[in-house]
Structure 1
Amino acid sequence: MGCNLTMKKALQHYHTTNNAPFWKNLLCALVAVLIVALPPVQLAKANILDTFGKFGVKEEAELGKKFSILVKSRMPIIEDPEIVSYVEGVLDRLQEHIPPQPFPFEVNVIVDDTLNAFAVPGGYVFVHTGMLLEMEHESELAGVLAHELAHITQRHIAKRIEKSQKVQLISLVGMLAGAVLGATTESGSNVTGGLITGSMAAGQAALLNYSRDDEREADHMGLIYLTEAGYNPKGLANSFAKIRKRKWQSGSNMPTYLSTHPAVEERQDYLADRVASLPKDLQDRPENDTKFKRVQTLVRSQFTDPATALTYFAKQEQTPLILMGQGIAAARINKVKQAADFFERAVEGAPKDYLVLREAGKFHYTKGDTNKAIFLLQKAAVRNPDDLMTLFYYARLLNDKGDSKTAATYYQKILQVLPEDSEVHFFYGKMLGQSGDEFNGHLHLAYSALYRNDAKKTAYHMKKAKAVATNEKQTAALELLKKQRDERAAYWE
């Protein structure tokens, strides 16, 4: 998967012979010297731990954690493991070719139709659903993420923070939120802007603004990470082109970096020229988009306007995957008969596809056909025993049939992987309460409300749990819940 020697030399040659006009001060000149002195991949592999200054690992991790809590307290986060694990997989593939980091990376997918993705200090990565849907190939999504990771590995934000040590952490969280998330409407529903290739817009976040040289370095390093990970190197420049095209076609919101960096066309040309200098076998790498298309179908059918999704799917080849998407979208607007037909045709066309079986099983469960749901979900579980969504609905079926003990083992297994899934906490809490475990029932219902950012219901169930707590273990569990509640409540409006 790594770059061969020819590719390394090609990248190095282009970078060292075409960058001179952009190094405008002594610091940038020094960076240029370092890049000339070291092959790009060697520079990429430099130990990031050696570059940490006064704003160290602890401070970066704390800033990232607080920012992550802020985002989760304001934005709808997808918990579907099929979608989240896919994005994690793309990130993991890139991570194998970036410098060692002092913290693990965490991925979250935000339900928002703007074309945005960003990574912040501390290893927190966020991708908007709009970015997942607008890209044509996985390599383009990977290109965006590679660029964002480069901003972190090169410590572009952290270095700027180091220059202003008097700024308090809470102020930095606010600045970072303004810069990354941009302005919101009065309802808080329209989040724009982002860090994708340097989108720093608000005047209050001038401290965090990426420079033109930061962007060039992130372009350079991002292309290295992308290519070393085995992707088609055209992915990064192609992602730029698609974002600009959508802006002109629809007039929709565009990441701030494109509106504040008028030289984006020049950057696209620069990247295209660099790719053209690579060996042809790298330029012609095949695109493997099978998983990407599956995730796009799930996102479109579950998290966009269902009527619009149905119109889109109707224009596509009627594969089992597309039929599944139509079934999901139709069910969301209560077209039950139509949805049932779509799912029947999808299962008939792909009887061994666990995703199709799972979604069909979910549909039949929600419309009350328990026997058909069990049949489909059991088949899905056989095909993929690790699919947590299948296990979740199977647990609900088991509880409905009176086997709460077995259902509890499934709920617990899911929460080990998805500890912040509000829906799992909700149904697990209801089951526990119905079976007589009042404390844990209210505890999980409180967590469910917390992760839905429902302050009133969180407080209600915390109070109920506290009233029935009888031992130190339960008291400690309440203290942990209170701590997490307080972290989020700091950002609740």
Structure 2
Amino acid sequence: MPRPARPRNPDSPSPLARLRTRAVALLVAVSILAVQVPVPAQAQDSGKLSPVRDAEIEELMRDYATPLMKAANVDPTAVQIVLIRDMSFNAFVAGGRRIFINLGAIVESKTPNQLIGVLAHEIGHIAGGHLSAMRQKLEQAQSRAVIAMLLGAAAVAAGAAAGASGSNIAGAAQAAATGPSEIIKRDLLSYVRSQEQAADQAGVSYLTKTGQSAKGMLEVFRGFADKSMFTARFMDPYAMTHPMPAERIALLERIATSAPNYNAVDAPALQRRHDMARAKIIGFMRPAPTVERAYPRSDTSFPARYARAVTAYRFGNVDDAQKQIDALIAEQPGSPWFWELKGQALLEAGRARQAVAPLRKAVSLKPNSGLLHIMLGQSLVDTGDAAQLDAAIAELRQGLGREEASASAYRSLAQAYGRKGQTADADLASAQAAFHSGDITLAKSLAARAKSRFSTGAPGWLRADDIVNYRPPKL
């Protein structure tokens, strides 16, 4: 049964006014969609990046990237390299000065040159200021979107004033919304494609300056092109963020093969380090049966034995793992990473006292590694020996000098100070651990308590005060 019509409030908007409002809202929504920037694949899949730390692999990545950054006139000390726990092949730049490398990119790169080529491309984005330029482009796009929105709203209003029907006005609103936004979207995507091509060309120039081949870059991107070629046949080339595969590979082949170092190969020592890094990742990230298939018992190479030793301590008997690690150490006693693995396996097995000696050895062989100092400090705390607390604090402080954002180091430091009865220092370390874990509310609470226990103006008081008065940056 139809309900009777309600009398309209004279102060409420008319149907035509409400229609104009909906049209403006639609334009705003489309404008926002038009300026969205694609996010890395792994961020799309999981919604969150999961960084991992490893001193050996980070050092290798730094050794790969530093010559390229110098060739690009980029300060290597200003760029952070972050490993991501993701076994897909991906690397990308974010925040202007951070290079993210998936563990899968290392494993899937059969040679150092392949991964170095990818890094050269990413450094091309940094040197080219592409992220900053993209932000400016987005701001321009937003301005254009606002103008288009206003013009579209004006057109709808004009149609309404001329007595056009509701359906015609709605159609005009839809056209006003989709037309300008589609142009803006295509313009942005065209700009992104041009940045990718510029990064390719810049990357090849850095490889040339450092006497390296661009063959690895070409091999990687050709592989991507082969995988995407089928789907690319059905895509609008003007709606893609990267150049069409054939177009990109043709350009890259031309500049890569004409470079003077195209036939250069990686040094054998570098290839060995790369193979060891790949084996370590596979040992830590893959199930035991997968590791056995990749590195069967018949394979007696160092990478194979390294992977099996890692797997043995993760899934098997720690004593058996120790025998395998000791065999590696016997042949290469100068490797800090074998000593680190021995200490890590013992520490995680609850044998902190036994872990101290191999970790001391690892630190002596690689004294500039903050991560090794931190692990040694943690093992000293975990021994439960009060006589080791001062040494533990010294090691943790040494490590934090290089790894100032390590929440786990601050937690161990808080334990050490707490056992010594230094409550103010323990509260401050706990606050710093919470801060670097992202729990700002807890960090402020603990910092306020620490601040009340320090003398006003003391170094600890000032550090606590910084946390208490911290304000997150506005995005």
TM-score class, shorter: 0.5 to 0.7
Instruction: Tell me the equivalent position of 2:6.
Output: none
| Structure 2 residue identity aligned to 1:225 | Y
Is the 8 Å Cα contact of residues 301 and 329 (structure 1) preserved in structure 2? yes
Provide the C-alpha distance between the structure 1 equivalents of 2:468 and 2:55, rounded to a whole number of angstroms: 27
Partner of 1:141: 115
Kept in 1: contact 2:215–2:262 (CA 8 A): no
Secondary structure of 1:403's counterpart equals helix
1:16 matched to which residue of 2? none
Partner of residue 277, structure 1: 258
Match of 2:376 among 369, 394, 407: 394
Note if 1:221 corresponds to 2:202.
yes
Equivalent of residue 95 in structure 1, options 37, 58, 69: 69
The verdict on how the C-alpha distance between 1:268 and 1:369 changes in structure 2, with shifts beyond 3 A counting, is: same
User: CA 1:218 to 1:409, structure 2 compared with 1: closer, same or farther past 3 Å?
Assistant: same
Cα gap change, 1:166/1:109 in structure 2, threshold over 3 Å: closer, same or farther?
Answer: same
Give, in whole Å, the separation in 1 of the partners of 2:463 and 2:278. Answer: 38
Structure 1 position 414, deviation (Å): 0.6
The structure, 1 or 2, with the larger RCO (C-alpha pairs under 8 Å, 6+ apart) is 1
Q: 1:157-191: CA deviations, max 9, x gaps?
A: 433433454789xxxxxxxxxxxxxxxxxxxxxxx
Q: Which residue of 1 aligns with 2:457?
A: 472
Change (3 A) 1:369 1:143: same
Q: TM-score, normalised by structure 1?
A: 0.65
Name the CA shift for 1:241/1:154 in 2 (closer, same or farther; >3 Å). Answer: same
Indicate which of 445, 449, 461 corresponds to 2:430. 445
> Which of the numbers 310, 314, 328 marks the counterpart of 1:328?
310
Alpha-carbon displacement from aligned partner over 1:85-121 (angstroms, at most 9, x marks no partner): 3222222110111145699222222222232212246
Deviations 1:246-287 (CA, angstroms, capped at 9, x unpaired): 789xxxxxxxx99754721342243233333344x6423345
Q: Which of 286, 301, 307 is the equivalent residue of 1:319? A: 301
**1:448 and 1:398, CA in 2 relative to 1: closer, same or farther beyond 3 A?**
same
- Among 75, 92, 102, which residue is 2:49 paired with? 75
- Could you tell me the percent identity over the aligned residues? 20
Q: Secondary structure at the match of 2:52?
A: coil
Give the Cα separation in 1 of the matches to 2:371 and 2:138.
46
- CA distance in 1 between counterparts of 2:90 and 2:399 reads 29
SS of the equivalent of 2:101 reads strand
Q: Are the aligned partners of 1:131 and 1:141 in contact in 2 as well (CA < 8 Å)?
A: yes
Partner of 1:122: 96
112-121 vs 222-231, which moves further: 112-121
2: CA distance between counterparts of 1:236 and 1:378? 39
Residues 102 and 125 of structure 1: is their aligned pair in 2 closer, same or farther, counting only changes over 3 Å?
closer
Q: How many residues align?
A: 378
Deviations 1:467-486 (A, max 9, x none): 54443333421232346684
CA distance, structure 2, for counterparts of residue 300 and residue 131 of structure 1: 12
Q: CA deviation at 1:238?
A: 1.4
Contact 1:324 1:359 survives alignment (8 Å): no
* SS of residue in 1 equivalent to 2:92: strand
Q: Tell me whether 1:289 sits opposite 2:271 in the alignment.
A: yes
Residue equivalent to 1:42: none
Residue in structure 2 matching 1:415, options 400, 413, 429: 400
Contact 2:49–2:84 (CA under 8 A) maintained in structure 1: yes
Residue type of the partner of 1:411?
A: L
In the alignment, structure 1 segments of 5+ residues that lack a partner are: 1-69, 169-202, 249-256
Deviation string 1:111-156 (CA, Å, 9 cap, x unpaired) is 2223221224632222222222211122121211211222232333
Equivalent position of 2:85 in the other structure: 111
Q: Distance in 1 between matches of 2:353 and 2:135?
A: 59
Which residue in 2 is equivalent to 1:376? Answer: 358
| Residue of structure 2 aligned with 1:301, choices 283, 288, 292 | 283
CA–CA distance in 2 between the matches of 1:320 and 1:234? Answer: 27
More divergent stretch after superposition (214-223 vs 473-482)? 473-482
Contact 2:112 2:266 in 1 (8 A): no
Q: TM-score scaled by structure 2?
A: 0.67
1:415–1:421 CA contact under 8 A, matched in 2: yes
Q: Does 1:426 align with 2:411?
A: yes
Structure 2 unaligned spans of 5+: 1-42, 143-183, 230-237
Asked whether the equivalents of residues 396 and 427 of structure 1 are also in contact (C-alpha less than 8 Å), the reply is: yes
Superposition CA RMSD, Å? 3.9
